[in-house]
Amino acid sequence: MTRRSNRAEVRNPILALPAARLLQAMPADTRTLLAVLLADFAADARRRSRSSWDSRKAFVAAYWATVAVYAGHIARILYRGGRRSATRKPFLVTQKGYPDLVAADWVEASRLYCERRDQLGLGASLYPEALILVGGTPVGRISYNGRIWMPGPWEACDEPLFDNRRADVG
């Protein structure tokens, strides 16, 4: 058996590209935001790959698996020092009149918001929506029902970024 190299550019070939240095030189808040979004993108692509494989759609599964690998490689470049541990809980859930909450992902942000809502027993008219920030940038807002939407006012045609009613959540 041949041992795999421990060199960073072998384990993550994206590091060998000149643009990787530019990604690493971006401001920390921007890197964090992009890293979180790309990690989320990679997780979604892995789910699509598994679903396609289960449906015997091998070429589509291979496509989504490749997307997941590249998104993950780029996300790891963006995390400080190449490790995710520095931003393990990058989501900041802010709510007027309440202490901020920190979460690792959409699922945890929704869950923490709903737990606080249930503990307080306030109705929709008294319990405020929350804003989700990553690296100081608004990336979503949580409505009373725990669903996460794009930041800004809700419109009838909007689809949630995260829907806590889905069976595959968590």
149-165 pLDDT, tens digit per residue, is: 999 888 889 999 899 98
What is the rounded distance in angstroms from the CA atom of residue 44 to the CA atom of residue 68? 8
Locus of tokens 């923490």? 112
Q: What integer pLDDT is reported at residue 16 of this predicted model?
A: 86
Does residue 68 sit in the same domain as residue 30?
yes
Locus of tokens 């890293």? 35
CA 13, distance to chain mean position in Å, is: 23
Structural tokens at position 88: 């393990």
Q: Which helix (H) or strand (E) holds 133?
A: strand 130-134
Does residue 20 sit in the same domain as residue 81?
yes
Q: What integer pLDDT is reported at residue 167 of this predicted model?
A: 54
Residue 113 resides in a domain: yes
Domain extent for 95 = 91-149
Average pLDDT of span 84-112 = 87
What is the rounded distance in angstroms from the CA atom of residue 34 to the CA atom of residue 24? 11
Average pLDDT of span 10-27 = 85
What is the rounded distance in angstroms from the CA atom of residue 129 to the CA atom of residue 140? 11
**Which has more pLDDT, 55 or 33?**
55
* Per-residue model confidence as pLDDT tens digits over 128-144: 999 999 888 899 999 99
Supply the DSSP string of 139-157, one letter for each residue.
EEEE-TTS-EE-SS---TT
Q: What integer pLDDT is reported at residue 133 of this predicted model?
A: 94
* Per-residue model confidence as pLDDT tens digits over 40-53: 899 899 999 999 99
What is the rounded distance in angstroms from the CA atom of residue 40 to the CA atom of residue 156? 25
Does residue 78 sit in the same domain as residue 14?
yes
Residue 165 resides in a domain: no
- Total structural domains within the chain: 2
Nearest Cα neighbor of 108 from 121, 124, 90 is 90
CA 148, distance to chain mean position in Å, is: 12
pLDDT at 86 over 60: no
Average pLDDT of span 85-112 = 88
Residue 161 resides in a domain: no
Q: What integer pLDDT is reported at residue 170 of this predicted model?
A: 52
**Which has more pLDDT, 22 or 79?**
22
N-to-C CA span, the chain:
37
Is the pTM higher than 0.85?
A: no
What is the rounded distance in angstroms from the CA atom of residue 126 to the CA atom of residue 137? 26
Does residue 96 sit in the same domain as residue 63?
no
Q: What integer pLDDT is reported at residue 80 of this predicted model?
A: 55
Q: What integer pLDDT is reported at residue 78 of this predicted model?
A: 87
